[in-house]
Amino acid sequence: MGDWMVVPVRIELLTTGTELLLGTTRDTHGAWVGQRLLGLGLRIARQVTVPDGQAVGKAMRTGLEEGEVLIVTGGLGPTSDDLTRESLAEVLGLEMIEDKATLRTIEEFFASRRRVMAEANRKQALVPVGADILANPNGTAPGLYLAPGLSGRCNCAVFLLPGPPRELYPMFEAEVVPRLRALSGIEEGPDCVELKFVGIGESDFHQGVDEQLESIGGLEHGYCARPGEVDLRLIGTPDVVKEGRLVAETAFAHELVSDDGASLEEVVVRLLTGQGMTVAVAESCTGGLIASRITDVSGSSEVFRYGFVTYANEAKCDLIGVDREDLLEHGAVSEPVACQMAEGALRVGKADMAVAVTGIAGPTGGSEGKPVGTVFLGLAVRGGETRVVKQFHPWGRDVFKRQVSQSALNLVRQALVG
Amino acid sequence: MGDWMVVPVRIELLTTGTELLLGTTRDTHGAWVGQRLLGLGLRIARQVTVPDGQAVGKAMRTGLEEGEVLIVTGGLGPTSDDLTRESLAEVLGLEMIEDKATLRTIEEFFASRRRVMAEANRKQALVPVGADILANPNGTAPGLYLAPGLSGRCNCAVFLLPGPPRELYPMFEAEVVPRLRALSGIEEGPDCVELKFVGIGESDFHQGVDEQLESIGGLEHGYCARPGEVDLRLIGTPDVVKEGRLVAETAFAHELVSDDGASLEEVVVRLLTGQGMTVAVAESCTGGLIASRITDVSGSSEVFRYGFVTYANEAKCDLIGVDREDLLEHGAVSEPVACQMAEGALRVGKADMAVAVTGIAGPTGGSEGKPVGTVFLGLAVRGGETRVVKQFHPWGRDVFKRQVSQSALNLVRQALVG
């Protein structure tokens, strides 16, 4: 794991919600809060998850005893099992009062949506005496902050935050981060950069640059790998981060996609937009996933106009003019078909570039010569030579589709960066 | 949440791993173990997550004090920060011995893969005296089980399990489940059924059937909502589950998609296959997502052959014959265009049914009459009348695409079930 930095404040995270322990909902708060704290040079010392109800008060007591900062998420809703607010007041021996301004804000939230406030929502305006109210522009439940020493029973700072991510995340940025900076005495966190690479895996880094990165004193590095992509995270002073970055960029210059968290599809749409070009796609084995990823990006309609999901052989011939005889002779999963699909998509889709994929996703349909996982990718460019590459991704249907879409988008990216 | 059943055994889950608190890896053990226990009629009382290293021993002590069963995952690897085994022996005051049979198994694991065992792996054969060794056919780290009272320091049963899911899951089934049954005295778990509904939300259930379900004694029910879909979970004796099921099915007969965990796209492919029919799709605003979801299902090539991603207006006219004048007069997001897209996809795609969508995903492109979130869906059936429905999903680009794909697949499903 390397040498982790000194942690100036012990932070306890308490996530509440019966659904988190029943398997219906996966916890995402731990990872999100952990990542956000990392950017400040802080860590979660322990995360505790308990069901709604009685267990919350007990877990709070432990968190308050052992932590310097206790962050609690969830349980601020209007229903009877949302008891975080009440539990905290009880544990700390603080009186609860109805906050007029908060009540008005909640009433306005409903009024602006032309709905009547339910009586149950009234309790969301109850706050322990002395607490700061943290505005929630995205929901009815305000957050609460209790400064250290407010109750006399403990010297721990406490944040009560809403559970839904679209309420939690903005509140964390606006209200929690500045207070954590002040509490921890951290003016500025360390530099933290995340480089996204595609077409290589974590083991390439282990073999390629791990040792070099480890030899840079004070630099912390870590990986996050997903199918067809790996993020390298570098943390430290600006100088050492710069040094680490140079090592990674030098080793894997062609595979570096972004340094600002942008996804591969975002980078592709950006590049196409910048160069005033359009792309068409012809998909067999990915079944629409490449087109769907491109159109996940806002503004993609400027650069993407035509997509062909030619799942059947007939569709490949009908829509984008693949030659029937070539198809019979070489099979749908072959170099000539990938080539003709790309060129057909370019022509029919009136585009500047086109990418095509044809392969065997499995679990059935493989043969000895072309096992499940085999794929041919074609890239056609107006006025240029068509390129076909063959790849092999034998890791199940989901991963196959994802991997092939990565490779296809990366072919487009590489052609655009030259 | 309703009345949860009496929990016969207090189970503590301790998940270990620095990466879980840094945001690089999301915890999946809590949800998986929770779900698996639910099927046995058991619950996780508390989940604690700590970084590798010193914190593990301390968290173990707490778990042993308060739990009747402590399940620990992770930290059984060969590296220096994998200390779960050692921490447990220390906390319980048990001696560690090298287990000859385990060492041989580890050596064979490497030999069968033609690799040399590293010296570091030797410590994986160390076991506390008296512990049961749990076989790990998928990795080098065996699991460990300590029966209650083994150490004299506590009366808690302890499982140490490997972290990687492909090692953890099979070991849990083979070694943990039978021991938990014996410890808890549970012969058979309760009936547990999950009904998937589409096109309605959790609030429809709150208003429609919540009260009725709550009035069924001994029945536990819970919801899991995602965009355009909600799962209703019913737990109890076979009789009360049957009664609850009847209530929900009666209220929302048209919206019930599956009772076996099958996704909407799986159900659609099943129905099409069963009726020997094919479907084509024409997508504007979903940009390929509907086709991609259909082709996520193995065997979909029997029922899906042509997909048209007509993102640009010109593509709608070129590929599936939408009338240029209608397009100009009514706009791309309109009833006539949705109708012609569906009929064009049916014809050009030589299918038995076709579904088409055209809408405004946003964030830009909305107008007063057609705000962001507006969508028209068309369904054409060979020899039948084409149907167009208008919907409004103003919740951001991602959710919009997902919701519209749900609605489109559900239109197909409804047509197939009649």
| CATH number of the B264-417 domain | 3.90.950.20
pLDDT confidence of residue B18: 83
Coil, helix or strand at residue A276: coil
Task: Give the DSSP letter string of A157-202.
Answer: EEEEE-SSHHHHHHHIIIIIHHHHHHHHT-SS--EEEEEEEES--H
Test A20 with B47 for CB contact under 8 angstroms.
yes
* Identity of residue B77: G
Task: Provide the percentage of residues in chain B whose pLDDT is more than 90.
Answer: 64
C-alpha A140/C-alpha A106 separation (Å) is 5
pLDDT confidence of residue A94: 93
**What integer is the mean pLDDT of B194-218?**
87
Which residue is closest to B56 within chain A, CA to CA? A46
**What integer is the mean pLDDT of A160-168?**
91
pLDDT confidence of residue B91: 94
Closest CA of chain A from B288, distance in Å: 4
Q: Which fold has domain B11-184?
A: Molybdenum Cofactor Biosythetic Enzyme; Chain A (3.40.980)
Which residue is closest to A295 within chain B, CA to CA? B287
pLDDT confidence of residue A6: 47
Q: Which of B18, B47, B364 sits opposite A1 (nearest CB)?
A: B18
Interface test with B, best of A80, A292, A305, A397 (most B CBs within 10 A): A292
Test B224 with A289 for CB contact under 8 angstroms.
no
How many CB pairs lie under 8 A apart between chains A and B?
252
pLDDT in tens, B102-139: 999 988 888 877 777 877 788 889 999 999 999 998 88
Multiple choice CATH, A265-417, 3.40.50.300, 3.40.50.620, 1.10.3720.10, 3.90.950.20:
3.90.950.20
CA distances from A184 to A133, A143, B250 (A): 21, 20, 57
Give the residues across from B160 on adjacent strands: B72, B144
A7 pLDDT band, cuts 50/70/90, is: low
Instruction: Tell me the two tokens of residue A212.
Output: 């070099």
pLDDT in tens, A225-269: 777 888 888 888 899 999 999 999 999 998 999 998 899 999 999
**Domain chopping of chain B, boundaries:** 11-184, 191-258, 264-417
| CATH number of the B191-258 domain | 3.30.70.2860
Instruction: Tell me the two tokens of residue B280.
Output: 């084509």
pLDDT in tens, B139-173: 888 999 999 988 888 889 999 999 888 889 999 99
Q: Among A326-330, B16-20, B127-131, name the one with the lowest average pLDDT.
A: B16-20
C-alpha B158/C-alpha B161 separation (Å) is 10
C-alpha A220/C-alpha A234 separation (Å) is 6
Closest CA of chain A from B24, distance in Å: 6
Closest CA of chain B from A302, distance in Å: 9
C-alpha B339/C-alpha B373 separation (Å) is 19
Using a CB-CB cut-off of 8 Å, the residues of chain B touching A49 are 30, 46-49
pTM of the entire structure? Answer: 0.81
User: Is the model more confident about B381 or about A184?
Assistant: B381
Asked whether B74 and B87 are in contact (CB, 8 A), the reply is: no
Q: Among A300-304, B41-45, B189-193, B208-212, name the one with the lowest average pLDDT.
A: B189-193
Cα Rg, chain B, nearest whole Å: 28
Interface test with A, best of B22, B58, B263, B404 (most A CBs within 10 A): B22
C-alpha A329/C-alpha A336 separation (Å) is 10
Mean pLDDT, all residues of chain A: 90
Which residue in this structure is represented by tokens 């167009």?
B388
Which residue in this structure is represented by tokens 């620095």?
B18
